[in-house]
């Protein structure tokens, strides 16, 4: 008698040499045919339904589990998003980096919303802003650069308290606005401050004072008088190298200038009252400026007698001196030995003597255009010893000027001819070129 056949489940359990996974399709098909014939033959009674239930359970047991990674993703909970949050950027502005917000030239009348607290560079120049809200500005404690150039800001619209929160600010640009007084406080981390082309009549001790990293201050084209500059305006800012005070209403050099200054622009153009013109240049205000390399005193009423004896001795490092458009009748004596560029155009100089440049052996460029020089107004010995001389500009004088260059010079400098007057002014007349 032959042994009984094993059932399907038994065969699966005994399958030491049987591949269950390879037999699954055949088993499923066989069970399906058996189930179909049973249902058709019996009309679907209760026993048949039991067989169908067994078939369903068997199919579930035989089906392999889903491969890892193919499961359906979990459904997000209400309020959640599967996408990363968008970068915060004000409307119409651009944010090329996570720390940069550029809202320049959009004619904005209100301070933009939605500025990220991570902003380090905020550009708001050339808009129509009249005020900066304290709450909006004070929250931007990571700012390094704030550009407000070319708006309509007045002093009431620029809250002093807001700058106390900007503890990392290094560059501030508020030129071409309507400020009448400077902020009373700017952060001690400041390096560059541009408040040019406003209506400033007053600055305060902590506007620019106590700033150990401050390098450049631009205050040209304002209405500052000496009364509006406190004596300690720059105290504690010993790293300052550039100070531009051109086109203000100062009548004498400010006291207590930082000894670290390298460039000082004082083109004091007084347009309203002649008595406010700079009428005296004494050595005391220049004392201690041993590092000063560039000094501009153009567009004043300076005469030769207004320059006190020993004035230039205080400036041993001076390389560029602009005395253009004054009332000088002769070349000032005892100019600094380090001088390389001298602007004397637009004066009343009618003669250059043999000793005019004895103290300036390093002179390279000399501007004498638009004076009162004639053919033989310059002495033949005037340039003796000037081995580095390259340019002598004498255009715009009444006559062609004969310039005699000593043979010791390495090459012949250019002596501009005076057939046609050249343009007035010099390359350093405009303080905005700094």
Query: Beta-carbon neighbour count of residue 410 at 10 Å?
Result: 9
Task: Please name the residue that has the structure tokens 């699966």.
Answer: 12
In b/e form, how buried is each residue of 114-130, taking b as 16+ CB within 10 angstroms? ebbeebbbbbbbbbebb
387: nearest Cα among 412, 352, 354, 368: 412
* Residue 59 CB neighbours (<10 A): 14
DSSP 4: P
Instruction: Report d(CA 33, CA 262) in Å as an integer.
Output: 101
Picking from 394, 386, 283, the residue whose alpha carbon sits closest to that of residue 349 is: 394
Distance CA 135, CA 162 (A): 8
Structure tokens belonging to residue 244 = 């531009």
Q: Distance (Å, rounded) from C-alpha 25 to C-alpha 56?
A: 14
pLDDT at site 291: 85
Structure tokens at 29: 């098909």
What are phi and psi for residue 364, nearest 5 degrees? Answer: -115, -35
Q: Reduce the DSSP state of residue 134 to 3 states and report it.
A: helix
Q: pLDDT at position 427, please?
A: 33
What's the pLDDT score for residue 59?
A: 52
Report the 10 Å Cβ neighbour count for 330: 16
Note the pLDDT of residue 24. 54
> CB of 188 within 8 A of CB of 210?
yes
Paired tokens of 363: 């002179």
pTM, to two decimals: 0.67
Q: What is the DSSP letter of 255?
A: S
The one-character DSSP state at 284 is G
Computed from CA positions of residues 314, 316, 320, 321, in that sequence, does the dihedral angle turn out positive or negative? Answer: positive
Res 301: pLDDT: 84
Relative orientation angle of helices 46-62 and 20-42, to the nearest 10 degrees: 170
> Tell me, what's the pLDDT at 53?
53
Question: What is the DSSP code string of 329-370?
Answer: SSPPSS--TT--EEE-TTS----B-TTTTTT-TT--EEE--S
Q: Per-residue DSSP letters for 395-432?
A: TTSSSPPP-PPPTTSSSPPEE---SS---SS-TTS-GG
As a dihedral over the C-alpha atoms of residue 347, residue 351, residue 357, residue 358, rounded to 10 degrees, the angle is -150
334 Rama sector, left if φ>0, alpha if ψ -120 to 50, beta otherwise? left
Confidence (pLDDT) at 283: 87
190 Cβ contact list (under 8 Å, min separation 6): 169, 170, 171, 172, 208, 211, 213, 214
**CA–CA dist 200, 214 (Å, integer):** 20
Distances (CA, A) of 109 to 85, 105, 152, 349: 28, 11, 9, 53
Separation CA 407–CA 412 (nearest Å): 8
**pLDDT 10s digit of each residue in the chain, 434 long?**
444 444 444 444 444 444 444 555 565 565 556 545 544 444 445 554 555 555 554 555 555 555 544 444 443 444 443 444 456 799 999 999 999 999 999 999 999 999 999 999 999 999 999 999 999 999 999 999 999 999 999 999 988 888 999 999 999 999 999 999 999 999 999 999 999 999 999 999 999 999 999 999 999 999 999 899 998 999 999 899 899 888 888 888 887 788 888 877 765 432 222 223 566 788 888 888 888 889 888 888 889 998 989 999 989 999 999 999 999 999 999 999 999 999 999 999 999 999 999 999 999 999 999 999 999 999 989 999 999 999 999 999 999 988 877 665 554 444 444 433 333 333 333 334 44
Reported as type and span, the H/E element at residue 385 is: none
Please list the residues that pair with 126 across neighbouring strands.
none
Helix H or strand E encompassing 32: helix 20-42
Write the CB contacts of 231 (distance below 8 Å, at least 6 apart in sequence): 255, 256
Delineate the domains of the chain, giving CATH numbers in brackets: 278-408 (3.80.10.10)
Kindly calculate the radius of gyration of the chain based on its CA atoms and give it in whole angstroms: 42
What's the confidence (pLDDT) of residue 295? Answer: 87
Q: State how far the Cα of 178 lies from the Cα of 174, in Å rounded to an integer.
A: 9
Question: Taking a C-beta distance cutoff of 8 angstroms, is the pair 262, 236 a contact?
Answer: no
Within 10 angstroms of residue 431's Cβ, the number of other Cβ atoms is 20
pLDDT at 27: 54
Dig out the tokens for 77 from the structure. Answer: 């909970």
Closest alpha carbon to 253 in 228, 286, 215, 220: 286
């Amino acid at each position: 008698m032959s042994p009984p056949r094993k059932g399907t489940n038994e065969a699966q359990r005994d399958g030491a040499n049987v591949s269950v996974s390879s037999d699954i399709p055949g088993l499923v098909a066989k069970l399906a045919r058996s189930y179909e014939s049973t249902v058709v033959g019996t009309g679907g009674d209760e026993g048949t339904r039991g067989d169908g239930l067994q078939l369903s359970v068997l199919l579930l047991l035989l089906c392999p589990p889903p491969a890892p990674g193919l499961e359906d993703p979990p459904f997000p909970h209400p309020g959640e998003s599967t996408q990363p949050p968008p970068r915060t950027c004000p409307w119409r502005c651009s944010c090329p980096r996570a720390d940069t917000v550029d809202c320049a030239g959009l004619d904005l009348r209100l301070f933009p919303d939605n500025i990220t607290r991570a902003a380090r560079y905020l550009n708001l120049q050339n808009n129509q802003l009249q005020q900066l809200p304290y709450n909006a500005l004070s929250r931007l404690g990571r700012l390094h650069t704030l550009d407000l150039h070319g708006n309509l800001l007045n002093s009431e619209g620029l809250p002093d308290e807001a700058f106390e929160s900007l503890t990392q600010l290094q560059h501030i640009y508020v030129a071409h606005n309507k400020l009448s007084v400077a902020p009373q406080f700017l952060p001690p981390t400041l390096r560059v401050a541009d408040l040019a082309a406003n209506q400033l009549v007053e600055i305060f001790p902590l506007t620019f004072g106590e700033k150990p990293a401050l390098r450049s201050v631009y205050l040209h084209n304002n209405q500052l008088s000496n009364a509006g500059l406190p004596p300690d305006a720059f105290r504690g800012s010993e790293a300052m190298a550039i100070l531009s005070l051109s086109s203000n209403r100062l009548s004498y050099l400010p006291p207590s200038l930082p000894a670290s200054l390298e460039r000082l622009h004082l083109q004091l153009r007084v347009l309203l009252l002649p008595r406010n013109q700079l009428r005296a240049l004494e050595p005391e205000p220049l004392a201690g400026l041993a590092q000063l390399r560039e000094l501009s005193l153009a567009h004043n009423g300076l005469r030769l007698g207004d320059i006190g004896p020993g004035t230039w001795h205080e400036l041993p490092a001076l390389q560029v001196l602009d005395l253009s458009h004054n009332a000088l009748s002769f070349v000032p004596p005892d100019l600094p030995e380090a001088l390389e560029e001298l602007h004397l155009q637009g004066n009343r100089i009618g003669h250059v003597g043999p000793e005019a440049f004895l103290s300036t052996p390093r002179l390279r460029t000399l501007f004498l255009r638009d004076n009162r020089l004639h053919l033989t107004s310059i002495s033949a010995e005037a340039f003796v010893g000037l081995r580095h001389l390259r340019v002598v500009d004498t255009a715009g004088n009444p006559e062609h000027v004969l310039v005699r260059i000593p043979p010791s010079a390495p090459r012949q400098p250019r002596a501009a001819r005076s057939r046609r007057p050249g343009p007035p002014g010099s390359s350093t007349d405009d303080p905005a070129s700094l």
